[in-house]
Copies of this chain bind each other. A is one copy, B any other.
Amino acid sequence: MPTRVMLEKYADVILRVCLRFERGQRLIIMPYLTMEEAQPEAFMLIQIITEQAYKAGARYVHIQWHDQQIEGLRLLHADTLEDWPAWESEGILSWYDEGAARIAIAGQNPDGLSRVSPERFGQAQRYSAQFTTPLLERITSDALKWTLANVPVRGWARRVYPDLSEAEALEKLWDAIFEICRVTAADPLAAWEDHVAELGRRNSYMTRKQYAALHYTAPGTDLTIGLPKGHLWLGGFARLSDGRPYIGNIPIEEIFTVPHREQVNGVVSFSLPLAAEGNIVEGATLRFEAGRVVEVTARTGRETLERWLAVDDNARYLGELALVPNSSSVARMRTLFYDGLYDENAASHLAIGTAYKNCLSGGAQMTDAAFLAAGGNISAQHLDFMVGSGQMNIDGILEDGSAEPVMRAGEWAFA
């Protein structure tokens, strides 16, 4: 199990490198932890972050614990799903608006809510959304500094490494997280500075190029994705409105932008299984015509995939494309983590559903209608699926139709 020294390095990466916590700030730590399955080391990490934050001048560190199993019991058994501690959501919001920073610590059993029916889940979400939506809006609009990092819990470790003993699986998952998050680097802070600087350079290059489209080829894939005018490549540092930087989640190995919702044509094959909501989709292909998914195949989970595409009208359109080299710190593990954050940083991916307005110049100020007209997508869905591999080539297509290499055999083709 991890030593205190390793946990201190991980805390350092989270608090200093990613959150760039500032003296005098309040800090809200939100452990999304399956408590019964957590190890003492998970709680120790939270303590270490708390201690480091106070030593760095935190005004107050508030821990808002979330236990998915406890929430699951409500979803399974409560007479009513229409009650909520509104004062808690409102209180957290008031602290966000007074300048608090937020760290989420995720350690959930991927099967934790598998007994809950989608109907009950949806009913509860619809009621609580009136209280939680303002919190999410602050996060997605960079109104506060926030960072998300993971810790192993037993159920997650068992799922990732089913052939190991529980203790071995936990140990291996800690090791994987530390390796992926550069905690094992000789100088983790320097390694992170180099890494985000590289992501920044690649964002600048790609944004400057303003490719009209990207052309993806790989076994089972021949897809052209148009890019709207004024698209911005992001990834690495996020920024508050006054320019102060932070890193919103670790790992972060991707750069991403917004596709033009009506300019996607061709076929794309999933390169990794897609695990979400306790379901798994494997060996899938999507065929697009004028941006819309018109054909779906899958070795397993085709119906699940169709259901995800049917959430609303725009769930059949792309909302994100992200480039991740095949040598990324996550991809090197060759492991399916059953965790969106880890898995999406393992390979170049696309997402059906809603797009990020801040990936379009001036997009953050656009109405939904204006964003749609500019080529963005708006949907209640946002689901990432992995398409990249060591066999993928990607060309950037300029306005004049000429092509330049962006990725070759899964790796960057420019400096």
Q: Which residues on A are within 8 Å of B, measured CB to CB?
A: 23-24, 26, 35-37, 40, 43-44, 46-47, 50-51, 54-55, 57-63, 65, 67, 69-70, 73-74, 76-80, 83-85, 87-88, 90-91, 94-95
Contact = CB atoms under 8 A, between A and B. Distances in A.
A193 to B, nearest CB: 27
A94 B87 contact: yes
A80 B59 contact: yes
B26 A36 contact: no
A43 B51 contact: no
A63 B83 CA distance: 14
Contacts of A40: 36-37
A50 B36 contact: no
Nearest to A83: B60
A47 to B, nearest CB: 6
Contact of A91 (B67, B70, B88): B88
Identical copies of this chain, number: 2
A54 B73 contact: yes
A152 to B, nearest CB: 14
A255 to B, nearest CB: 37
B50 A73 contact: yes
Given A54-B78, A61-B70, 6 more contacts: A23-B79, A37-B40, A47-B73, A54-B79, A87-B91, A88-B91
Contact of A78 (B43, B60, B67, B79): B60
A258 B50 CA distance: 43
Contacts of A60: 74, 78, 83-85
Nearest to A95: B85
B70 A58 contact: no
A54 B77 contact: yes
Contacts of A23: 79
A17 B290 CA distance: 66
Nearest to A61: B74
A63 B61 contact: no
Contacts of A57: 79
B55 A77 contact: yes
A69 B63 CA distance: 12
B43 A35 contact: yes
A65 B63 contact: yes
Contacts of A90: 87
21 contacts: A23-B79, A36-B40, A47-B69, A50-B73, A51-B73, A51-B77, A54-B73, A54-B77, A54-B78, A57-B79, A58-B79, A59-B78, A59-B80, A61-B73, A61-B74, A63-B65, A63-B67, A85-B91, A85-B95, A87-B87, A87-B91
B47 A70 contact: yes
A43 B36 contact: yes
Nearest to A85: B62
Contacts of A43: 35-36, 67
Nearest to A154: B40
A73 B55 CA distance: 9
Contacts of A87: 87-88, 90-91, 94
B77 A26 contact: no
A76 to B, nearest CB: 8
B59 A83 contact: yes
A69 B40 CA distance: 13
A74 B73 CA distance: 32
Nearest to A44: B36
- The CB with the most chain B CB atoms within 10 A, among A23, A26, A73, A83, is that of A73
A59 B91 CA distance: 21
A339 to B, nearest CB: 21
A35 B43 CA distance: 6
